[in-house]
Structure 1
Amino acid sequence: MDGAGDGTVDVDGDGTVDVDGDGTVDVDGERGRFQRASLVNVLGNAAKIVVEGAAGLAFGSAALVADAAHSIADLVASIVVFVWGSRRYDEPDTSHPHGHQRIEPLTALFVGAVIVLLGGTLLYESARGLLFGTDVQFSWLLVGALAFAIVDMYLVYRYTDLVNADIGSTALAALAVDCRNDIYTSIAALVGVLGVLLEVPRLDPLAGAFVSGLVIYQGVEIARENVGYLVGAAPDVDQRAEIEERLRSHPAVNGIHDLAVYYDGTALEVEVHVEVDGDLTLREAHDVETVLMEDVGAIAGVGDVHVHLDPGGIGEWKESR
């Protein structure tokens, strides 16, 4: 039995409800903010690559070249998010009847994979520098380039995080984490450059190796999270418990069974059988189902809700609670 025409409560795919306070979700507004934030990431990474790359190549700094090369991966990832990620806001169509929510974690997974691959390359180059030495020359221009990179990434991070506080995009969250980690990697590169000033040149490839390790870890974490979204992983225990409590709190509910909560893209899909009094009229049962779907659908992160009503005490063959 469907309580809302098609048996679902649509909550914008990412769990956000009533952005404007008027009962509707401002999809076009969200899409615009998403695209602006991802474009800022593209421009910020491009500027960082030019400044750090030029300085690193000019003075032979492995740490700066590694940090700039890391940003090449960030640039590719932010371009992919800018071009492809906003499709999460496309309406369902005949080829994607449940919407396009899974495109977002797919783009974030791409970000993670690119970061891991590049991190491995940078780690190899840093190891070569540690084994065979480097020919790096100190210049205050190296320090200036790193200072620019730190300020650049901080501003991009703050803007992306601010925009994403309302949107809740995993792709933008991945870009924001990447920007924040870029600040740490640039600080590590700065330590390497100062090591050259202090006549400890091996600090430069050592800093490059440290940067590479952070890059790989970051990529693995982003990929791991978004694989869960793509394969329909279960949410954490607290989220499931909140959904159960919301269902059981309705006075007409005698019990629930076959509760399935899993990710469909970045939104939670909820399927449940609810036991009610078998003597309810069809209209009364319909009203109960509608309220349950709306209550559960209002929980943060929940997308579609499917409720099947069963008359209590009929001895369903499925697990009962």
Structure 2
Amino acid sequence: MTDWLVKHFIQNPDDKDDPAVRQRYGLLSGGVGILLNLLLSAGKFLAGLLTGSIAVTADAFNNLSDAGSSVVTLAGFRLAAKQADDDHPFGHGRIEYLTGLLVAAAILLVGVELARTSLEKILQPEAVDFSWLSVGILCASILVKLWMSAFNRRLSRRIGSAAMAATAADSLSDVVATSAVLLGTLAGHFFSLRIDGWVGILVAAFILRAGWEAAKDTLDPLLGQSPDPDLVESIQKAVLAHPQVTGVHDLIIHDYGPGRRMMSLHAEVPMDADVLEVHDVIDNIERELKETFHIEAVIHMDPIATKDPQTNALREKMAALVREIDPAMTIHDFRMTVGPDHQNLIFDVVVPHKCPLSDEEVKAAIAGKAGELEGGPFFTVVSIDRSYTDIPAP
């Protein structure tokens, strides 16, 4: 069914990085969500009126809020597809993340209100009338929500949408919530148990959990999250595939919304290479990265000595000693100056954020390690880079 809808309502569905295509995905998801949630909400309101059940009525409000969330999602995708302008040179793609955050906020609000109403029902329990029509409506709702969860999850995976992932998670929590309401209704009828309020509390807990997870999924890209390690490794391999590049470091990826990312990195090149030739290679790599990963790339060239045996040997020894301090540490921009009574080892060290040592403690530890090198004395002049991404050592 999902493939059929995508085929008939979305042109060029595989071009997921095109904002116009993403907008059409958003319109499809929002339109389906609005229609089905309004139908479910109306059915559950009817069931709630027939039975007087607070849990059923609360579930109806939950579906009504889902319809509102679908409206927000639909509007968000339309706004995110707007082209860049003078005030927003990187486009409006992050609106899609804000849309997911608004959906999460709506989910949390419904959960809090449902918990409050259910608590009142626990303190003042009332008998609930039974209706097989209500049972049928609840069963139909479970089946519809299962399909909606799978539908939005598939769309989310197709285009990498946090907003659709939040909607899919919300639908799955609705399945659990409605199942609890159904079981509570049957238990009240067959065993005369007044657990309507307790079932409402259980439903509220599932809704609040779904809201929190959805909020986290949308907050992470807004705050700036670490890029996918597989993506980082693929970028590194693509750059190092060019023989003129001997090392990669300081990779930073900026996310301005789905399909709107930029990256910058430093590429180490031989200091005695032809500048014009290497510059042409770097330009080609930037174009290659954009075509392969759909990310605008800016590369800074770092010239390093590659043909001096002494420098190369000391670089390898120093890199090994630094890894003894922390296995994730790497060095780059290594160079050496020779004085009358000592030698200076000048380099940058990339320190992972999780490393408990301060910058000064790292420098002191490196200076101590340099004392273990033969042929000294060696003085270290170290610049600390706190890593933005984990680039494995080549």
Regarding TM over 0.5, the answer is yes
Matched, 1:298 2:312: no
The alpha-carbon distance between structure 1 residues 303 and 64, as it changes in their structure 2 partners (threshold 3 A), is farther
Which TM-score applies when normalising by structure 1?
0.83
CA contact (8 A) 2:239 2:245 kept: yes
What residue number does 1:286 align with?
Answer: 280
1:74-94 CA-to-partner distances (Å, cap 9, x unmatched) read 122111111222322222221
Q: Return the match for 2:29 from 25, 37, 52.
A: 37
Q: Return the match for 2:120 from 128, 147, 157.
A: 128
More deviation, 47-56/173-182: 173-182
1:141-191 CA-to-partner distances (Å, cap 9, x unmatched) read 210110221232233334333434432222122112212222221111111
What residue number does 1:222 align with?
Answer: 214
Q: Give the strand-richer structure, 1 or 2.
A: 2
Letter in 1 for 2:288: E
CA contact (8 A) 1:93 1:99 kept: yes
Please state how far the C-alpha of 1:262 moved relative to its aligned partner: 4.8
* RMSD over aligned Cα atoms: 2.7
Partners of 2:164 and 2:121 in 1: CA distance: 34
The alpha-carbon distance between structure 1 residues 134 and 247, as it changes in their structure 2 partners (threshold 3 A), is farther
Q: Return the match for 1:60 from 52, 56, 60.
A: 52
Please state how far the C-alpha of 1:46 moved relative to its aligned partner: 0.8
Letter in 2 for 1:217: R
Matched, 1:206 2:198: yes
CA contact (8 A) 1:257 1:319 kept: no
Larger Rg: 2
Which TM-score applies when normalising by structure 2?
0.69
What residue number does 2:253 align with?
Answer: 261
> Sequence identity, in percent?
29
Letter in 2 for 1:290: N
Partners of 1:318 and 1:91 in 2: CA distance: 40
- Unmatched segments (≥5 aa) in structure 1: 1-17
Matched, 1:145 2:134: no
The alpha-carbon distance between structure 1 residues 137 and 182, as it changes in their structure 2 partners (threshold 3 A), is same
User: How many aligned residue pairs are there?
Assistant: 300
Matched, 1:189 2:181: yes
Matched, 1:157 2:146: no
More deviation, 213-222/309-318: 309-318
Q: Secondary structure at the match of 2:191?
A: coil
Please state how far the C-alpha of 1:247 moved relative to its aligned partner: 3.1
What residue number does 1:274 align with?
Answer: 267
- Unmatched segments (≥5 aa) in structure 2: 1-11, 306-332, 336-345, 351-392
Partners of 1:297 and 1:270 in 2: CA distance: 13
More deviation, 37-46/161-170: 161-170
